[in-house]
Structure 1
Amino acid sequence: MNEKVLSTLEYEKIKQAISGYLSTQNGKKELEELKPVDNPRTIEMWLDETDDGAHILRLDKEISIQKLEDVTPYMKRLSINASLNGTELSKINKILKATTYLVRFFNGLKDDKVLLKRIYKIINEFQTVPTISRRLSDSIDDDGRILNTASKELNSIRRRMEVVKSEIRSIMNKYTQKYSSDLTDPIVTIREDRMVLPVKAEKKNKFGGIVHDRSSSGQTLYIEPASTVGLNTELREKQIEERHEERRILAELSDLIRPYQTEIINNAKLLGHLDLINAKAKYARAVEATRPAISVENKVYLKKARHPLISMDKVVANDLYIGEDNKAVIITGPNTGGKTITIKTIGLLQLMGQSGLFVTANEGSTIGVFDNVYADIGDEQSIEQNLSTFSSHMDNIVDILNSITKKSLILLDELGAGTDPKEGAALAMSILDKIGAVDSEVVATTHYPELKVYAYNREKTVNASMEFDSETLQPTYHLLMGVPGQSNGLNIASRLGLDSSIIDEARSLVDQDSQDLNNMIVELTDQTKRAREEADSLAENLSAAQEIHSELSEEFGKYQKQKDRLVTSAKEQANEIAESAKKKANAIIKDLRKKQQAIGKVEVKENELIDAQGQLNALRHDVDLTHNRVLKRAKAQHNFHKGDDVKVKSYGQRGVLVKKLDNNNWEVQLGILKMKIPESDLEKIKVDNDEKRFNTKVRRTSSSGLSTKLDLRGHRYEEAMHEVDQYLDSAVLAGYPSVTIIHGKGTGALREGVTKLLNKDRRVASFGYSPANAGGDGSTVVKLR
């Protein structure tokens, strides 16, 4: 893309807005280098990445990356065998820790079956070196200070230093209390890295020792008492040993990471790329942007497109489409009616889409893939500047015409303006013919009425205009496709009170064709406005009708289910009645047969008895219960076999079937007892093999008193670690999915302790620092199993 169009369409302002969501130097560097491309596969890949980031945000999650600096200069120093200082090593470790955190984070998303198009592939490119990260974490805190745990020697030296300092302070405090009147101030101060007392000059002989400094007035001497000289000397020696050991540790750590320079630089770049993806997604959410489809045929259709730099409560959305039959769009309308913003919106959204950004338009919008976007857009100048303005525009248009291809998009504002109207209109039409010959897409704005006729008569050229409300004399900023802009000068003048004789005279000077054209445009505009209002009304009615239809469908479904249940219930009741009658009838028929046999005389014919029984059977209504899940489960629970585990409902006890005694009773083993139990009092149960005879239930209960946050600030290390262990037990039992442990930043001892404990804890699924706006590395979010 040419740099001029990026400036004209304010593309850099979009990048500035995205930059506010970045936290890494590499992310900011990649954003600075970001420009629109004309490769459809690259655009699709970038949009997939932004889509992944937006999907993660929709899940109320975030690609959380703390502030990271560019470590490339440090890697260059390592390549020449230099040693890094603590601050530089700390920044490298932040990259290693961020890499480990993100790998865990996205592994968690994989476990949760979250589908992403591109980011999982990026994560696979990370190369973690956990052993080196742990070594750095044990040695350097986040501020670059070397920790006592960096080496046993350093720990021993510092512990001895603390003991010596404590002894010196104790002696010095005794001096300040006992000889306070001999001191300028009863305090202990430092001179030449040694603890001294501010002694009044006249009292120096009372203390002895070494004078290290004198006040500017000469009234105060800074004396190291003789009793502390030996301790101060030892402290000084230990300080020298400490510096030597620190240098040795830094050299060792530098040597440790030196073989991994390539991996660290690659990880840093990937972190920056993920940071940019996250920033793109956050910006899209902030401006309510959506993912566009891509048309390699350059059919651009932006639904309800909005300019992203105009506040959403002020901007007017318009449908914009070019391509196919609309290769050239000529927009006419009054000044300040929105023509310039409209063509800027088309150009800027196209640049955003070709940069892998979502566009501020509704779902289902489509962008093209242009090899370049050219724009000649400038503010209207004063009369005195017309000549220079016209020349400037012509220079720009000459450059454009020499560069365009059939894959280019050209945006021309006030084409042909700045010269004689007749010449300007003729020149504008010739320029549009030249662009049409190349077959480029072009959107142009103009005031010239001749171009309305030009657009009407030219193939693949369409008129468009910005709507103007003649009642309020205000523009509505709505774009009307297919309708040329009307001339409102005489109407406006009339409504503002200009004498009617003047208006009539002016109308007589306008030729009849122009008046007829203007009247036709007024009528078309009114028709289009009514059509849009009716379409909006119909859309609302359709939405309401669809909602009612959905509710009715749901209620009808409920009614059908209820009806089926009622019919089934009625049939079952009828069957019960018929079954009862049938039993009674069978009993009567049986009795009659016995009597007939007894007297040896057939009073009732057999076929009559069979017919009567058939009529009784016909009273029964069959109910299809083959698909009734409840009955299936009930039947399965009463399909007993020897050895089945059962529950005796009357006792509430479990047992095992030993043998079937008769049609209605079973012998059941209940513990050490064997009992005869009716089959109707039994219910089959399913028991795991491990549990076969005993079933112990462990149930999580919610804890109304347990917070989801544990604050360790101000606690001692051992006490804090014990608290974390107990708190995780309570959180697991409470059923919490995740908790937050607040350890603060400080020296980093609590943070490192918490990290070590969580690394080894089987109750922990994953963990990582809180987002930057929720405490950053001052607290850790723990996801529990």
Structure 2
Amino acid sequence: MEKILSQLDLQEYTSSYEAYLARQKPLFLEGDIHLHFKLIQELVNQQSVKPIPSMINLDRSIAVLQKSGVLRLEEIYAYVKIIKYFSYLKKIFVKDLLASWMDKIVIPENLFEICDFFNEKGELKNSVDETFESINRSLHLIKEDMSSTLRRTMSGQKLSTYLVDRQVHYINDQEALLLRGGFNHVIKGSVIGRSSSGFFYVTPDSITKLKSKQNDLIAKKEELTYQYCKSISSTFSKSLFFLKYINKEFDRYDAYQARVNFAKDKDMEFVLPKKSTQIKLDRFSHPALHDPKPINLDFSKQVLMITGVNAGGKTMLLKSILSAAFMAKYLLPMKINPDKSVIGSFKELFAILDDPQNVKNDISTFAGRMTQFAGLFGKKSTLVGVDEIELGTDADEAASLFKVIIEKLIDRNMKIVITTHHKRLASLLATHEQVELLAAIYDEKNQRPTYGFLQGTIGKSYAFETALRYGVPATLVSEAREVYGDDKEKLNDLIQKNIDLELKMREQSIKLNSELEEIQRLKVNLKDEKESYKAEFDTLKSKMNLDYTKAIKEAKEAIKTKDSKEAHRHLNKAHEYKKATHKKETIKQEPIPLKVGDRVKYGSSRGLLKSIKKDIALIECDGMQLRVPLNTLKRSGNVPKKSTISRVTVSKQNANSTVVLDLHGQRGEEAVENLDKFISDALIQGYEELRVYHGIGTGKLAYAVREFLKIHPSVESFCDAPPNQGGFGATIVKL
């Protein structure tokens, strides 16, 4: 979330919104977005509502109550404030959906009684207990006595010589006087500190005695307060499910009201995302711009390619389109005409804006870009923004490459916004029916960009004009213009030579592939022939064993009737024949280890070995990827048929259904590895929501799980499970 906010320049905007919240919470609103929108609209039309009280996070208190623990006084008072505020809302919301919502919140009577224990400062009232009232009265009297004692002490004539000033100083929560050296002749007290000037902070013994009484009373008051906290916590434990529910509903209302107050203060509107991929903006302004030129745009096709002048607003237009989709997705207000605007619904927003070069990982700019684009093929229902698409490599080569990539992404129903300075890619895609061209307009007369856009055409970059505008000497620009004209034909010849070389290499590649296929075919035939000979050999061997057995039988019969020496000679000869038949011609051959790219057999399935990690292999069979033990694989002789890429469609019975993973008892590393495989399998099956059980325990396992979810590219969001699905012991993951 933080990354996309930074990329779209929305961090200041979201920080301003969060200032309206009673307590921090995610931007995501769980549940039906249409219901959220209707309730927000009702709040917009509602008369002024009392501000929401500031609130602490109560997740810890829920866990304490689940273990029958004792809440702190501030936690109890937080629930009291929530109950009182919803009691107020139930009185003012008397119609429509807001009234129906409030009617569902039925507050138990015993919780109302607890609310009467507290004053507006969050302290227990004196009327709660006579002892409590007596202690408060005694504390008040001691405080007055200490004040009068200090005044009398300072007014003494003997002490006045040693007084540095006539103020009461508080040092380490104790009242003290600032005195010069030698004070011990006129006053008895304890030195509790020294000033930077060398004077002494002294607490008179009379004050020390009063302070001791005060501490005793405070201790009694804290003990009495603890007893009340214990009693109230016991009552709260019996209403734990209600407290969880009202705490969650408080966050829900807080999110609504914060959006409404933010919108009213900033004069912004809400737009409900539609079930489509269309984006039509009317008078939209990006919140990061001061006094911006409003955007009017109809982006109904799948690809919008923005070309034209440098510093003409192309990148900001891209960010504005993604920002509008982001704010609509999370029902955040924006400056827009909602009546004439349409914003589609997207599962994910993906921005490729920055230079991805990474020295630590030895990733170049272009390699990083390729990694980012490779990740797009695993996404669905995604709005993608790409700034300077040919960044990091030869523009002409990149144009050909990205033409193919973009066409494949179009086939996957991806929605893409692209900015580029190079016209070749734009010309290659211009005739595609799902590509819309947009050009940044340049004012030739005034030599400045207008920050306006013209639809349906390719724009010039105006590099020379921009260089002049930013201070490059005119002589250098003039020389560059001449070089550009002379070098144009040379560049075209070089490109043609590269094309001819590529065609020649492609022909050679086809020829080599054909020869390789023939070799593979011969290899398979040899293997089949070998297996045939082996089967024939086994048959002959079996026949010989049968003949031998018969011979032995006959020989034994001969022993009984004929000369024994002759019979034994024949019998020994028969045994020699048997020994010869069991001799196997063994050829020692070291097994060839499997490597990535080999064709392998797993059970009755055959596929391609994609990767090896320790003893686990990743194979691709019939378009599906499987993780299996390496020792279960055998080398396969099947020759892969040369054909077009097959696509496997996994039909899902219920895209919103939830699958469950239980990680109880597992170590952090083991749990993360199992969770990674679980998410991969869920994505293949088309699930969009997972429930992961990890328990509460020491919190290490839950921490490991959530840290992994933060960096997983396929995880949209995650949150604690509802009470009836595991609460803090489980996490709901949105893919």
Give the shorter-chain TM-score range. 0.5 to 0.7
1:703-762 alpha-carbon deviations (Å, 9 max, x no partner)? xxxxxxxxxxxxxxxxxxxxxxxxxxxxxxxxxxxxxxxxxxxxxxxxxxxxxxxxxxxx
User: Is residue 2:141 matched to residue 1:154?
Assistant: no
Q: How does 1:719-758 map to 2 (within 5 A)?
A: none
Query: Post-superposition shift, 1:487?
Result: 5.2
Query: Post-superposition shift, 1:510?
Result: 6.5
Q: How does 1:354-373 map to 2 (within 5 A)?
A: 354-363=329-338, 364-373=340-349
1:149-202 alpha-carbon deviations (Å, 9 max, x no partner)? 1212333455567678889999999999899789988999999x9999999877
Structure 1 counterpart of 2:26: 30
Query: Post-superposition shift, 1:393?
Result: 1.2
| Greater displacement, 372-381 / 176-185 | 176-185
Structure 2 counterpart of 1:290: 269
1:392-434 alpha-carbon deviations (Å, 9 max, x no partner)? 212211222x2244x3333222222332232122223222222
Structure 1 counterpart of 2:281: 302
In structure 2, give the amino acid aligned to 1:451.
L
User: Is residue 2:387 matched to residue 1:391?
Assistant: no
Unaligned runs of 5+ in 1: 205-210, 515-785
Q: Distance in 2 between matches of 1:196 and 1:8?
A: 56
Quickly say closer, same or farther: Cα 1:175–1:350, change in 2 above 3 A: closer
In structure 2, give the amino acid aligned to 1:310.
L
Query: Post-superposition shift, 1:444?
Result: 1.6
Task: Answer yes or no: is the 8 Å Cα contact 1:201–1:220 preserved in 2.
Answer: no
Q: Distance in 2 between matches of 1:267 and 1:492?
A: 59
Task: Answer yes or no: is the 8 Å Cα contact 1:89–1:136 preserved in 2.
Answer: no
Q: How does 1:205-604 map to 2 (within 5 A)?
A: 245-311=224-290, 313=291, 315-323=292-300, 326-363=301-338, 364-378=340-354, 388-400=364-376, 402-405=377-380, 407-486=381-460, 488-489=462-463
Structure 1 counterpart of 2:57: 70
Task: Answer yes or no: is the 8 Å Cα contact 1:30–1:272 preserved in 2.
Answer: no
Quickly say closer, same or farther: Cα 1:285–1:473, change in 2 above 3 A: farther
Which secondary structure does the structure 2 equivalent of 1:436 belong to?
helix
Quickly say closer, same or farther: Cα 1:134–1:445, change in 2 above 3 A: same
Which secondary structure does the structure 1 equivalent of 2:281 belong to?
strand
Structure 2 counterpart of 1:97: 84
In structure 1, give the amino acid aligned to 2:262.
Y
Which secondary structure does the structure 2 equivalent of 1:68 belong to?
coil
Q: Distance in 1 between matches of 2:6 and 2:203?
A: 68
Query: Post-superposition shift, 1:478?
Result: 0.9
1:504-563 alpha-carbon deviations (Å, 9 max, x no partner)? 89668878xx9xxxxxxxxxxxxxxxxxxxxxxxxxxxxxxxxxxxxxxxxxxxxxxxxx
Quickly say closer, same or farther: Cα 1:246–1:412, change in 2 above 3 A: closer
Query: Post-superposition shift, 1:468?
Result: 0.8
Q: How does 1:100-115 map to 2 (within 5 A)?
A: 100-107=87-94, 110=95
Task: Answer yes or no: is the 8 Å Cα contact 1:318–1:479 preserved in 2.
Answer: no
Query: Post-superposition shift, 1:485?
Result: 0.7
Q: Distance in 1 between matches of 2:168 and 2:34?
A: 69
Query: Post-superposition shift, 1:453?
Result: 2.8
Q: Distance in 2 between matches of 1:8 and 1:497?
A: 35
Structure 2 counterpart of 1:53: 43
Query: Post-superposition shift, 1:350?
Result: 0.9
Query: Post-superposition shift, 1:255?
Result: 3.7
Quickly say closer, same or farther: Cα 1:501–1:239, change in 2 above 3 A: closer
Q: Distance in 2 between matches of 1:234 and 1:221?
A: 15
Structure 2 counterpart of 1:122: 101
In structure 2, give the amino acid aligned to 1:67.
S
Q: Does 1 or 2 have the higher relative contact order (CA < 8 Å, sep 6+)?
A: 1
Q: Distance in 2 between matches of 1:422 and 1:178?
A: 95
In structure 2, give the amino acid aligned to 1:393.
R
Structure 2 counterpart of 1:650: none
Task: Answer yes or no: is the 8 Å Cα contact 2:318–2:417 preserved in 1.
Answer: yes
Which secondary structure does the structure 2 equivalent of 1:291 belong to?
coil
Which secondary structure does the structure 2 equivalent of 1:457 belong to?
coil
Q: Distance in 1 between matches of 2:267 and 2:379?
A: 33
1:481-510 alpha-carbon deviations (Å, 9 max, x no partner)? 112213545777999966989968966887
| Greater displacement, 498-507 / 242-251 | 498-507
Task: Answer yes or no: is the 8 Å Cα contact 1:103–1:123 preserved in 2.
Answer: yes
Which secondary structure does the structure 2 equivalent of 1:295 belong to?
coil
In structure 2, give the amino acid aligned to 1:337.
G
Task: Answer yes or no: is the 8 Å Cα contact 2:65–2:71 preserved in 1.
Answer: yes
- Greater C-alpha radius of gyration: 1
Task: Answer yes or no: is the 8 Å Cα contact 2:158–2:186 preserved in 1.
Answer: no
Query: Post-superposition shift, 1:317?
Result: 1.9
In structure 1, give the amino acid aligned to 2:309.
P
Q: Distance in 2 between matches of 1:291 and 1:167?
A: 61
Query: Post-superposition shift, 1:365?
Result: 0.7
Q: How many residues align?
A: 472
Q: Distance in 2 between matches of 1:219 and 1:509?
A: 86
Quickly say closer, same or farther: Cα 1:153–1:460, change in 2 above 3 A: closer
Structure 1 counterpart of 2:7: 8
Q: Distance in 2 between matches of 1:254 and 1:453?
A: 71
- Per the normalisation by structure 1, the TM-score is 0.50
Quickly say closer, same or farther: Cα 1:259–1:73, change in 2 above 3 A: same
Q: Distance in 2 between matches of 1:460 and 1:196?
A: 81
Task: Answer yes or no: is the 8 Å Cα contact 2:80–2:114 preserved in 1.
Answer: no
Q: Distance in 2 between matches of 1:280 and 1:101?
A: 20
Q: How does 1:639-650 map to 2 (within 5 A)?
A: none
Structure 2 counterpart of 1:669: none
| Greater displacement, 165-174 / 355-364 | 165-174
Task: Answer yes or no: is the 8 Å Cα contact 1:88–1:144 preserved in 2.
Answer: no
Q: Distance in 1 between matches of 2:176 and 2:9?
A: 64
Which secondary structure does the structure 2 equivalent of 1:47 belong to?
helix
In structure 1, give the amino acid aligned to 2:271.
P
Q: How does 1:627-638 map to 2 (within 5 A)?
A: none
Quickly say closer, same or farther: Cα 1:15–1:123, change in 2 above 3 A: farther
Query: Post-superposition shift, 1:374?
Result: 3.0
Q: Distance in 1 between matches of 2:141 and 2:148?
A: 11
Task: Answer yes or no: is the 8 Å Cα contact 1:63–1:275 preserved in 2.
Answer: no
Task: Answer yes or no: is the 8 Å Cα contact 1:374–1:411 preserved in 2.
Answer: yes
Task: Answer yes or no: is the 8 Å Cα contact 2:439–2:453 preserved in 1.
Answer: yes
Which secondary structure does the structure 1 equivalent of 2:25 belong to?
helix
Q: Distance in 1 between matches of 2:220 and 2:467?
A: 92
Quickly say closer, same or farther: Cα 1:492–1:477, change in 2 above 3 A: closer
Q: CA RMSD in A?
A: 5.0
Task: Answer yes or no: is the 8 Å Cα contact 1:354–1:369 preserved in 2.
Answer: yes
1:363-404 alpha-carbon deviations (Å, 9 max, x no partner)? 22111122333332225999xxx992222212211222x224
Q: Distance in 1 between matches of 2:354 and 2:126?
A: 65
Q: Distance in 2 between matches of 1:62 and 1:168?
A: 45
Task: Answer yes or no: is the 8 Å Cα contact 2:327–2:334 preserved in 1.
Answer: yes
In structure 1, give the amino acid aligned to 2:26.
E
Query: Post-superposition shift, 1:281?
Result: 2.1
Q: Distance in 2 between matches of 1:187 and 1:318?
A: 64
Query: Post-superposition shift, 1:458?
Result: 2.0
Q: Distance in 2 between matches of 1:221 and 1:328?
A: 79
Q: Distance in 2 between matches of 1:398 and 1:504?
A: 40
Which secondary structure does the structure 2 equivalent of 1:29 belong to?
coil
